[in-house]
């Protein structure tokens, strides 16, 4: 079947144009919020860029140093959770160091337990949840 036998070029062009408009309108309706948000971001980005002056770099540096000064072990050594999709680089390094020194850590823990008074051991066991690995 040849569509040209039934429709003129003008009719085919009109149908194609109408279909294109329909698809565009449908897509715009589906993504309306995203489109408006993106347009808003672009407008804000431009306004922010226009406000950057010679003092901006100093302000950014000052703020970065304040953030660095307020870092804690929690923020540096972040483990993966529902908010962080993966472990932080510092957490991965820490875990690798622990694994690499597992024998020394185990020896230190065993030595500490051997020298700890029995009543302290009982308090620790009574107040916590443990997994015991036997045979070492």
**Cα–Cα distances in Å, from 18 out to 2, 22, 30?**
21, 6, 18
Residues of the chain with pLDDT under 70: 129-136
Does the pTM surpass 0.75? The reply is no
The pLDDT of residue 130: 66
Domain boundaries, the chain: 71-130
Residues 119-136 have pLDDT tens digits of: 888 888 888 766 666 665
């Amino acid at each position: 079947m040849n569509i040209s036998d039934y429709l003129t070029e003008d009719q085919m062009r009109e149908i194609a144009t109408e279909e294109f408009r329909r698809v565009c309108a449908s897509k715009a309706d589906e993504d309306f919020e995203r489109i408006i948000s993106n347009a808003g971001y672009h407008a804000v980005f431009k306004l922010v860029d226009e406000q950057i002056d010679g003092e901006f770099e100093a302000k950014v540096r000052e703020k970065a140093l304040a953030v660095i000064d307020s870092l804690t072990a929690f923020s540096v050594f972040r483990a993966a959770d529902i908010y962080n999709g993966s472990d932080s680089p510092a957490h991965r390094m820490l875990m690798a160091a622990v694994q690499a020194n597992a024998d020394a850590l185990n020896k230190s823990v065993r030595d500490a337990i051997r020298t700890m008074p029995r009543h302290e051991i009982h308090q620790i066991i009574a107040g916590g949840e443990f997994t015991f690995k036997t045979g070492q």
